[in-house]
Amino acid sequence: MAPLDLEGGTLGQRHEHYNKLLKEAISSGQPVAAFTLGDNDIENLLKIDQACHARDVDFIVSVFKCGDMLCVSRALARSPWLVTDPQYANIINSNYVHTELFPYMNTKAFIKLIKQIRLNIQDEVRAEQFYLYEKKDTDALKWLPKCSASFIEANIEKHINNLKIRTYKRLCEKTDKIFEIVLEKTYYYERARYAQVAMFLLKADVDKFLDVIEKDRSNYIPKFNDKGTTLIMKKSPKRVIDKFDRYASSIHVPTFCKYLKADEIKPFLYAQAKKDNDSNYEYYNLRNFFRYDTLKYFVKKLPKNEQFEFVKKIFIDKEIADADEEKLVAGTEQYNMRKLYVLVRTPSYIWYRFADFERAFQDITEIISKDLDNHNIVSMLTVLMSCAENNLQHIQKLIQYYLDKHRTLQSHYTLKFTTDLLDRTNIYQYDEKTWNLINELFKILKIYDEPDNVWSNTVAIIESVVVYKILHDQIVPENIQKKFSFKTLKEHGKKLNKEQKEKVFRYLYEFLINKCKPITTEQEFGDTITILSQIFELLRDWKKELTDFTLVTDKIKECVKVKSENSWKGSLLQLYKFKKSWQRHMFEESVIMNPCEEVCLNALKHDPLLLERQSNDVQSLRCNDAVSLRRLLAKLRIYWPQSLATQWVDAYMENLNKTDGHKATIRGLCTSLSQKQVLELIDKYKPNQAKIDWSAVDDRILSIQRFIAKNMHIARPQPVPESILFFARGDYLQYALPSLLAIFYNLSIMESKKYIPKLLDAPVSVQKHGIRLAYKKLDHETLKKIFFDCWKASKNVSIRAIIFQFTFELLCNQKDSGNAVGLWELTELFIDNLTFEEDKKIYELMSRVEQVPRHVRAKYLVKTYDFMKKLTQKVKEEDRDNYKRLTAQLAEYSRQIMEDIPPEFIKDLIQEFVDKDFFGFEDNFGSVHGIISVISAYILTAKNENLQAEKYEKVFVPIMKRAFEKWSEKKDGSFIIRSNFQCLLSQLSDDLRDFVVENKLLWPIKMFLDIKRELEKSISISENYMMLTKWKLTATIAQLAEKPYSEDKNWADITAEIAPEFGKICLDYLKEDVKTHFPCIYRLYSKALNTQLQLISEESNKIIIYKCFLAENDFIEGYLTAIETSKDAYSYNKDTYADLWNQISEHPSVEIKMHYYYNSKNDYDGCCY
């Protein structure tokens, strides 16, 4: 039986015939036989469409598994009911799809199925099941918009960092609660963007939307357009008016002003001026509000007769400007005007825009007469242009004034005046008198003179002269024509009526068409294309149709003809693509003008015979390696299998005999041929030997083999894996890799289990890809066996590195504790089997302990640390520092999992560090601070006093005593041991907040007091005042915090509770030190206190402590300590510290005042005198 072929000349006609065949098949009522993939695409599609109409689920499921993406895509497109209809929920659910369909579908087909389900699913419960099934958060997020509102709200927070704007908008459409959650959890600088996207929620509930954005104190408010502002002003006008300081830079001011009454304008402006003058003002959105471009909308809302008087009183008259603000009574009109005047920096003459022309002319010319600089003169005259409002008498008066008074100004001022005048008035309405006046300006600017190097600055004037002359039927002067560089003059058309527009267009068209000459050279060909492009612009801008201008279309045909005859390189593409609706008038020339796939597809829709008529250009396109014809060839294969498709295949086969163009040819054949024909082509050209004999190779055959190897994967359906294995060996592997990876990655799970072992048995170069594919395709249990077998069988370092890498990734991505333990056992086996000569990637990977699941992390750390420690002794000298660094990182990380780490391991680690680095200066652990943090964490990790006492006695006390014994030892002139010990004390101090409170450990008060006693007993205060004072303050904090900590309060609440008492004790300590030592001790004490106050992050609590030093007026050192400790914070946050520093400034002591002024007003501190 002959293969089914469609009838019809065009693509549309063949579609009609297909639909007729389908209708007949459906009406026949015959059941569709079980699906088998045939070579005839139309027969396959007919069966699929018939089955979809009959809702034959078994047939459709078998299509999903067939491997031909055309059939799979058709089945998915025609069966949305499979997803939407609840009766098929037994098939379209997360369990069935992943266990019954996924293993048998190729990767591309399954991805398409999942996308189709995600697009059409309406059942929220099933969508939630798909969401929960996903292992990656990014994949799960794609299902979230289809879930229920409550489910979305419960799960959105985990996705905020990966949330794309489009997804966020869909979630907001589902539940407006998402808007609130995201704005609360995201970074402050992102909030305005998210709020902008959710602006549509404003329509639903204005107040609720504004409530959410007002919660954000960062002042990142979205921009409201005119529609948004209208909604707000209709629903909640008072809210925005009262809080205008928050919305000033976001609201659409012109629309906002429409909703204010005339009698509300002045009080509103005065109120905003008062806010901006307020030193406690929280927001800064008004900083751009007080300028003409914004205030003009408010002034225009006043009655017309009041507008100029209002701005005149405030911004023009001197009375308000010269008023003494201190003598004005708050709340009076003059006081309010003065406040507004101070904030507005707009030049006074700008406000004359609200005056009538005569008044503005009189005042501004009087101001100009006072010998202002030339720039201000032109700016003031520009204001008068706005007042003239196209009144010819006013315009004449203004031009005459300029000619009389300022004719001698430099030419660039005259040019600015003239161009501004042309912009602000309609020159084409000028009468003869007005034209003669402006013509005088043109003459001053030498517009009518011969072209020179500077005439390009007068383009706008030249265009205006050209248009004026055309409209008044006057001859355009020759010099003006020379200076007129072609433009369509579209902007000028806005000022013209219909008849005037036609005049201007006709002139420009004739101007261009007369430039077109017969084409005899390639240069003339290029020039003609440029002219035609200009004509196209003209026709488009003046809304003309190409078909009305036969001279133009004839010229295009002439260009096509001479280009084809002479093989010239000039491109006609810009003409063809200029306007899409004009392309149909160039259909016959389209292949030459724009040789591409799109044009060929267009030919199939309207007249496929065009491809035969333009066979030479089509053949060039067919052999062009840089052009893809995939969509065209797919259409030919489906709809013209017995005619055009066959012709194209024959042409491609003929091209194989040539020595070039093989890339396009092979890609064309792989796209056009059936699976059987592709396999025959592969079999014909498969290499006999893995190694290429370069001395006897046939370059043509090798080229064909190379491109078959690279491109066979684009065939539909893809060739069986055996086909690529013919090429994936020896010298041909480099060519075959794209197809090898594409074919194997696309295999179904069941096929992968069959074919991947073949890759694993191949040479190393292929085996690596087999391991990667196994990792992507197979389940964990299968992978564990494969990885174990490959590891055992291979000594190749790159293979072992890949196996270790993927095993590590599996371990890190594992969320199930049971599976994690199994993977850890395999990883442990690999680590035990590692040599010291593995790929460096393995050693780098081993240090990433933080990625390992928590329940095996401690075991992993101990094992890898032991290995890395041995490795540092065996590697080359140049690598040793790097591996020492990695080993130190592992050791430092033990702090994060201290409760899980075996105590003996930590004790050995600490002892080694103490011996070699703390006291031995060997620098084995990199940063000393890193391991000191481990010591601190180990000592503090205790759930009862006995355990803490034991750690203190066995670890800390020996370190302390040994440090005291070596207290005077130096290295390179520095007391290194003292410094290390101070670092340990500082870490213990910081860890009160960062470790003890965070992990809810035993409060170490007894240990801290013991340390204090030992320090005071063992080291002298004269050498170690800072260390002793710091620790005394730390011990005091620990004592005071013991009670609130026992009440399970967080650190912020603890420090807030103890701040007053701590401040008093700090004052007592200072008084004692001043009495015992000397007054200037306050400087050292301040440094010690400042260091310990880093434990308190809230500024309000610090201020409470600072104020305690001001408790006794006659204790000067207390005030000086408050200055020393708070001066840095005050310089950055004056408002918060204003009360404290005001209190300091009121003290009568000259000494305190000197320190106060030096630290509060040191603007000139860096100046030299």
For residue 284, the model assigns a pLDDT of 58
For residue 238, the model assigns a pLDDT of 94
pLDDT tens-digit readout, 23-69: 999 998 888 888 889 889 999 999 999 999 999 999 999 999 999 99
For residue 1165, the model assigns a pLDDT of 42
Joined together, the tokens standing for residue 855 give 């329940």
Q: Is 922 buried (19+), middle (13-18) or exposed (0-12) by CB count in 10 A?
A: exposed
User: Do residues 703 and 664 lie in contact, with contact meaning Cβ atoms separated by under 8 Å?
Assistant: no
User: Do residues 87 and 81 lie in contact, with contact meaning Cβ atoms separated by under 8 Å?
Assistant: no
For residue 280, the model assigns a pLDDT of 45
Joined together, the tokens standing for residue 409 give 């100004």
Where exactly are the structural domains of the chain?
A: 499-594, 1055-1160
* CA–CA gap between residue 691 and residue 294 (Å, rounded): 78
User: Do residues 1084 and 1029 lie in contact, with contact meaning Cβ atoms separated by under 8 Å?
Assistant: yes
* Single-letter code of the amino acid located at 163: L
* CA–CA gap between residue 49 and residue 43 (Å, rounded): 10
Question: How many helices (H) and strands (E) are present in the chain, helices listed first?
Answer: 68, 0
Closest CA to 67 of 114, 117, 109: 109
Closest CA to 1033 of 999, 996, 1061: 1061
The residue assigned the tokens 């990667």 is 772
Contacts of 815 (CB under 8 A, 6+ apart): 135, 853
**Beta bridge mates, 974:** 971
Which residue ranges of the chain lie beneath pLDDT 70? 1-2, 217-219, 277-285, 371, 453-456, 921-927, 1161-1169
pLDDT tens-digit readout, 1053-1073: 999 999 999 999 999 999 999
Q: What is the pTM of this model?
A: 0.81
For residue 922, the model assigns a pLDDT of 65
